[in-house]
């Protein structure tokens, strides 16, 4: 289901990181994210709502310059 907040995301299980590009274009990497949380985000009807409840302000993060700098890491 499309999100009004999140344009796309990619989870990297070997690293435990989640890259998120928001609709506004900003890209962030979230660290130490368990795979079950990433899977729940993928299944969520409201990705933005789930992100706000389970990921935002709960995991260390950094802002990336672009999606390409993070995707496939």
Walk along the chain (73 residues) in steps of 10 and give the mean pLDDT of each run: 85 96 96 97 95 96 85 52
**Residues present in the chain in total:** 73
Residue 43 CB neighbour total at 10 angstroms: 10
Per-residue CA distances from 68 to 13, 26, 54, 64, 65 (Å):
18, 12, 25, 9, 8
Whole-model pTM: value is: 0.88
Question: Where are the chain's structural domains?
Answer: 6-67
Query: What is the reported pLDDT for 10?
Result: 96
**pLDDT given at position 2:** 63
Three-state secondary-structure class, residue 69: helix
pLDDT of residue 68: 76
Q: What is the pLDDT of residue 73?
A: 46
Closest CA relative to residue 48, chosen from 27, 22, 26, 73: 22
pLDDT above 70 coverage of the chain, percent: 90
Distances from the Cα of 18 to the Cα of 39, 71, angstroms: 11, 9
């Amino acid at each position: 289901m499309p999100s009004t907040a999140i344009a796309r995301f990619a989870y990297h299980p070997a690293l435990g990181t989640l890259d998120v590009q928001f609709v506004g274009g900003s890209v962030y990497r979230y660290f130490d994210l368990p795979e079950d949380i990433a899977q729940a985000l993928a299944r969520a009807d409201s990705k933005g709502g789930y992100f706000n409840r389970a990921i935002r302000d709960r995991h260390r993060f950094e802002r990336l310059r672009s999606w390409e700098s993070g995707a496939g890491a």
